[in-house]
Amino acid sequence: MGRCWQLYVLLALPVVYILLFKYYPMYGAQIALKNYVASNGITGSEWVGLKHFIRFYHSYEFGKLIKNTLLISVYSLLAGIPFPIMLALSINYVKNKKFKKTTQMITYAPHFISVVVMVGIILEMLDPRNGLINVIIRGLGLETVNFMAKPEYFSSIYVWSGIWQNVGFSCIIYLAALSGVDPSLHEAAVMDGATKFRRMLHIDLPSIIPVMVILLILNTGNILDLGFEKVLLMQNPLNLRTSEVIDTYVYKVGLASAAMNYSYSTAINLFKSVVGLILLVAVNQLAKKAKQESLW
């Protein structure tokens, strides 16, 4: 350690971050098993066991929340897999370096748009009177549609706007994997008369499958963790039937309501985390059995 102290100093930064912001907050998760009263503190609050978990399971909202969260998460996961791969494969075969770099910059730039601005763009584009989409619909002689008032459109708007925003940034990972492909494989394929499509199919895709599997495992672990910012900003009373997910419900129950149900909201969030951990371990084991890359 004395000879390599610089490496340990470098390692200390992420370790301190993880301990401070990931592990220390776990101490507060115990209020999911208590009737937490702020004046009594965490240690002084009464233990109630699994009362809040049972309450959530038997609540009227349970089925709707699980259904909406899984629908949007699985939709995002499945729809988001092919597009970064196709974009990465396409960019990888572009010979013009200037065009290649310009395309990369244009496609990953939307990733840096804030959630608030992104939702603002969506609402403006889909405005029933002056939005670009409805202007085009009106120009075609069709009746305009109030997309944000239609519950059945919410998941598609959420997912496809997310794909547009993140597809360029996501493809960077696959481009990095493609850069590690042995050039001699392509040279041999060209000598054998293989087309670009055949080279993609038989050389590039097999090379990035390990990366695809790792990303799938990580995303599966977060399948119930949508984040509430974008969903909350897109919500309105008309689409609430399909837009209410676990994260927004936790926020409303724990912070936005007058009751301030800290214990109940913590129990819901802890339930979500446990389910995510189980899915992560299960998918990782399936990947190992299929002889694919795994996290451990």
Q: Beta-carbon neighbour count of residue 233 at 10 Å?
A: 15
Q: Is residue 295 part of a domain?
A: no
How distant is the alpha carbon of residue 246 from its chain centre?
Answer: 14
Q: How far, CA to CA in Å, does 121 sit from each of 103, 110, 161?
A: 22, 11, 10
What percentage of the chain carries pLDDT values higher than 90?
38
Q: How many structural domains does the chain have?
A: 1
Is position 5 within any domain? Answer: no
Does residue 138 register a pLDDT over 70?
Answer: yes
Q: What is the band of 37 on the pLDDT scale with cuts at 50, 70, 90?
A: confident
In which domain, by residue range, is 263 found?
Answer: 34-289
CB atoms within 10 A of CB 88: 23
What mean pLDDT is predicted for residues 126-137?
A: 90
11-27 pLDDT tens trace: 999 999 999 998 998 89
Length of the chain in residues, anyone? 296
pLDDT at residue 192 greater than cutoff 70: yes
Question: Is 28 part of any domain?
Answer: no
The predicted-structure confidence for 245-277, as pLDDT tens digits, reads as follows 998 998 888 887 766 788 999 999 899 888 888
Q: Within a domain: residue 16?
A: no
CA-CA-CA-CA torsion sign (97, 103, 107, 110): positive
- pLDDT tens for 85-98 read 999 999 988 888 89
Give me the CATH number covering residue 188. 1.10.3720.10
Full-model pTM: 0.86
223 belongs to a structural domain: yes
Average pLDDT, the chain: 89
Residue 212 lies in a domain: yes
User: Is position 13 within any domain?
Assistant: no
Strand partners, 46: 35
Please work out, in degrees rounded to the nearest 5, the angle formed at the alpha carbon of residue 274 by the alpha carbons of 270 and 278. 170
Confidence of residue 117 (pLDDT cuts 50, 70, 90): very high
Domain-embedded: residue 27: no
Residue range 141-173, pLDDT digits in tens: 888 899 999 999 999 999 999 999 999 888 988
DSSP string, 48-85: -TTHHHHHHHTSTHHHHHHHHHHHHHHHHHHHHTHHHH
Contact (CB, 8 A) for 270 and 32: yes
Query: Which of 291 and 192 is assigned the larger pLDDT?
Result: 192
Q: Helix crossing, 61-80 with 82-92: angle to 10°?
A: 20
